[in-house]
Chain A
Amino acid sequence: MMAEEAVRTRPVQIIGPRETLGVWLKDLWLYRNALLALCARDIRGKYKQTSLGVAWALIQPLVQVGLFTLVFRGVARVQTPVAYAVFVLAALLPFNLFQQIVATGTPSFVSAQGIVTKVYFPRLYTVLASTAAPLVSAVISLSVLIIAMIWFGVVPSPMVVVGIPMLLGALLLAIGVASFLGAINARFRDIQHALPLIMTVFMYVSPVLYPLEIMPPRLRPLALLNPVTGLVEGFRAAITGITPYSWNLAWGSLGVSVVVFIVGVCIFERAQARLIDVL
């Protein structure tokens, strides 16, 4: 009798062909230590044996802004409602967050094969862990943005808190896209090679470096299909107080991001169980 009772107090784990949603959610919480460790590994590993360390996360946006200001403001004479540096920094923050997560998250499952074939934790962690370093960069970019706003005397709009859901949207969208692409990448490593190219194109077709208004009207619907457009526009408008192309577009993009996140994660989860055997 006593023995029977002892059995009941121990956790019981059932391993079968399929795991339930409940188990999946429980595991996401149960194995959180592994996620934190993977995040630390990503951040620490990234700047080890660099003399400048995390300062690189500062240098990147500064150089980007300097270069883009030179080209778009100095050469192309693009007109913006606020100082170009602030205009572009406010867009680069959500865009870089999105771009960096997709870039590192997509190959993360494949590059973690040495780990995921030897220990168990929710495989989605490989993608989630690759958000850590980009999030650190985003925080650093934010401080650069704040300094730039003070310097150029840009007063934040009363809607500044809307920036948070917009950033969250970029995060969810990126996780969704990285999960989806990551699942394909496990079979076709082509994705890994095409990705940097796609991302560069993506930046130029999104209204990051220029206002959406200067885009030829014929091309505009294309830009609107891209959920990054709404998020970038929305974030920039919220922070700098300029009038966005459309608030509806921003909120719509946020909705799309949530859907992409859910669909992407579902596809990843369905695929990973089979992919683990072919990694």
Chain B
Amino acid sequence: MNTAIRAEGLSKAYTIRVPQPDGSTRRIQKHALRDVSFEVSEGEVLGIVGRNGAGKSTLLKILSRITAPTRGRVTVYGSVASLLEVGTGMHPEMTGRENIFLNGALLGMSKKDIVKQLDEIVEFAGVAEYIDTPIKRYSSGMKLRLAFAVAAHLSADVMIVDEVLAVGDAEFQAKCLNVMRDGTKAGRTTLFVSHNMAAVENLCSRVMWIEEGRISKIGTPEEVFREYLAGTASGKVSLDTDLQAIHTVSDLPVQFTSLSVSGTDGSILLQGDDILIDIEIRVVQRVLGVKFFVRISTIENYPVAAMSSTDYLREWDLDPGMYKLTIKLSSVRLLPRMHKLSLYSYTQWNSEIIEERPDILKFQVLESDILGTGRPIRADRGVTWIPADFDLKQSNGKSA
């Protein structure tokens, strides 16, 4: 495999002036990147993730030659087009057509290229009627479509794309992703920075996670996201809870001593993952007809679902000793948000609760590309989601 980009020991230091209490200023050096080295092969699609201020933008700016590294160097084989923004340089007083030429030229397209693709660009943007109108008369959506249409027709051996997809409505974002996918399918080397995990997972063959100016991990999207998301999920949520410590002195016949919740693989839960609940149970005296009950609710206390062993006609007669109960939840349709888990154990027609652990554990379900569209289903949809098949036909039976 040929190398497309080779970065060797890239560092970038900024000098910041910090005002001191005595009125003077002190200069401090802040490293946005420290000794970053990596290689990207031809045709590879590398996603770059990291928190704000981790150094992603600095890296992109160095690769796009906007800012020079303090140390180290990058060798890029092939022509480069970089897309840190859509619509760079567009002038409100100029017409759509004029702006296509202006923006195209600034992005590195030749005039011949633009002339050749002009009709396509105009059609893609869907602004044919208004192409000779100053873009200040455009709606913001039209401006965005025009800008993206130009960007979508860029062609180079290496493409560098930043967060461009963060703007625009859902339909527009989907369109952008499709264009990106076409480019990557055509074997174009692409570097793609985004906060949209689903999009990165969908598009990229490899992901680089940058943390505090260094490469924290580089690998397949799955590998990196498991670790990355575990670290950045809102709040530090431990999915393992040892109940021993918080267990009050109890003479209950059945005691939950430890609990863990996990996804099908690893310690974090992505949307759509099966959920495994492992509970350790100590039984101190013989109990007959023990049933278990688990409830999931949103962090706002809205019940989402409750599962009882009685539903499955399961109950157990337990002798004293240690037990391990595994509850596997499949076809889980939780939305990406924080949830709470409650556990109960009871006997004899619900009358006698023998162990209760309301809201014992919080867990986060993380966004994923569950529908394969590059877009997650967001938490604002409700408490859960239901798979749907949308099909529109004309009344005469033909597919629309």
What residues of chain A have their CB less than 8 Å away from a CB belonging to chain B? 3, 6-7, 10-19, 31, 33-34, 36-38, 40-41, 44-45, 48-49, 114-121, 273, 276-277
Residue of A nearest to B109 (CB): A33
Tell me, rounded to whole Å, the shortest Cβ–Cβ distance linking B135 to chain A.
11
Which of B76, B107, B110 interacts with A15 by CB under 8 Å?
B76
B71 at the A interface (CB under 8 A): yes
B108 at the A interface (CB under 8 A): yes
A48 to B94, CA, bound (A): 7
Q: How many chain-B residues does the 8 Å CB contact rule pick out?
A: 44
B178 at the A interface (CB under 8 A): no
Since A14-B74, A15-B74 are in contact, a sample of 13 more A-B pairs with Cβ atoms closer than 8 Å, ordered by chain A residue number, is: A6-B2, A12-B77, A16-B72, A17-B70, A17-B73, A33-B109, A37-B106, A40-B101, A41-B94, A45-B91, A48-B134, A118-B84, A120-B64
- When the two chains form their complex, are residues A119 and B98 in contact, meaning their CB atoms are under 8 A apart? no
Q: Provide the residues of chain B in CB contact with A41, threshold 8 Å.
A: 89, 91, 94, 102
Q: Provide the residues of chain B in CB contact with A3, threshold 8 Å.
A: 2
B105 at the A interface (CB under 8 A): yes
Tell me, rounded to whole Å, the shortest Cβ–Cβ distance linking B295 to chain A.
51
| Interchain residue pairs with CB less than 8 A apart (6) | A10-B77, A13-B80, A33-B105, A33-B111, A45-B91, A273-B68
Tell me, rounded to whole Å, the shortest Cβ–Cβ distance linking B115 to chain A.
12
With A41-B89, A45-B94, A277-B67 known as contacts, the answer to whether A15 contacts B62 (CB < 8 A) is: yes
Which of A15, A48, A276 interacts with B93 by CB under 8 Å?
A48
Tell me, rounded to whole Å, the shortest Cβ–Cβ distance linking A199 to chain B.
26
Q: Provide the residues of chain B in CB contact with A15, threshold 8 Å.
A: 62-63, 65, 68-69, 73-76
Tell me, rounded to whole Å, the shortest Cβ–Cβ distance linking A248 to chain B.
44
A7, A36, A277 — most chain B CB neighbours (10 Å): A277
B14 at the A interface (CB under 8 A): yes
B350 at the A interface (CB under 8 A): no
Tell me, rounded to whole Å, the shortest Cβ–Cβ distance linking A147 to chain B.
31
Q: Provide the residues of chain A in CB contact with B75, threshold 8 Å.
A: 12-15
* B332-344 contact mask (Cβ, 8 Å, vs A): 1 or 0: 0000000000000
Q: Provide the residues of chain A in CB contact with B260, threshold 8 Å.
A: none
Tell me, rounded to whole Å, the shortest Cβ–Cβ distance linking B43 to chain A.
12
- When the two chains form their complex, are residues A120 and B66 in contact, meaning their CB atoms are under 8 A apart? yes
- When the two chains form their complex, are residues B84 and A19 in contact, meaning their CB atoms are under 8 A apart? no
B85 at the A interface (CB under 8 A): yes
Q: Provide the residues of chain B in CB contact with A118, threshold 8 Å.
A: 66, 84-85, 88
Which of B72, B77, B88, B91 interacts with A119 by CB under 8 Å?
B88
- When the two chains form their complex, are residues A34 and B76 in contact, meaning their CB atoms are under 8 A apart? no
Tell me, rounded to whole Å, the shortest Cβ–Cβ distance linking A194 to chain B.
23
Q: Provide the residues of chain A in CB contact with B94, threshold 8 Å.
A: 41, 44-45, 48
Residue of B nearest to A49 (CB): B93
A44 to B90, CA, bound (A): 12
- When the two chains form their complex, are residues B98 and A121 in contact, meaning their CB atoms are under 8 A apart? no
Which of A7, A11, A34, A115 interacts with B79 by CB under 8 Å?
A11
Q: Provide the residues of chain A in CB contact with B79, threshold 8 Å.
A: 10-11
Q: Provide the residues of chain B in CB contact with A121, threshold 8 Å.
A: 106
A7 to B70, CA, bound (A): 27
Q: Provide the residues of chain A in CB contact with B110, threshold 8 Å.
A: 33
A119 to B72, CA, bound (A): 21
Q: Which 10 A-B pairs have the closest CB atoms?
A: A37-B105, A48-B93, A16-B73, A120-B65, A15-B74, A10-B78, A33-B105, A13-B76, A118-B88, A118-B85
- When the two chains form their complex, are residues A40 and B102 in contact, meaning their CB atoms are under 8 A apart? yes
B157 at the A interface (CB under 8 A): yes
- When the two chains form their complex, are residues B106 and A16 in contact, meaning their CB atoms are under 8 A apart? no
Q: Provide the residues of chain A in CB contact with B104, threshold 8 Å.
A: 37
A116 to B85, CA, bound (A): 12
A121 to B84, CA, bound (A): 14
Residue of A nearest to B7 (CB): A15
Q: Provide the residues of chain B in CB contact with A119, threshold 8 Å.
A: 64, 66, 82, 84, 88-89, 106-108
A3 to B3, CA, bound (A): 10
A36 to B105, CA, bound (A): 8
Residue of A nearest to B103 (CB): A37
A10 to B188, CA, bound (A): 14
- When the two chains form their complex, are residues B76 and A12 in contact, meaning their CB atoms are under 8 A apart? yes
Residue of A nearest to B74 (CB): A15
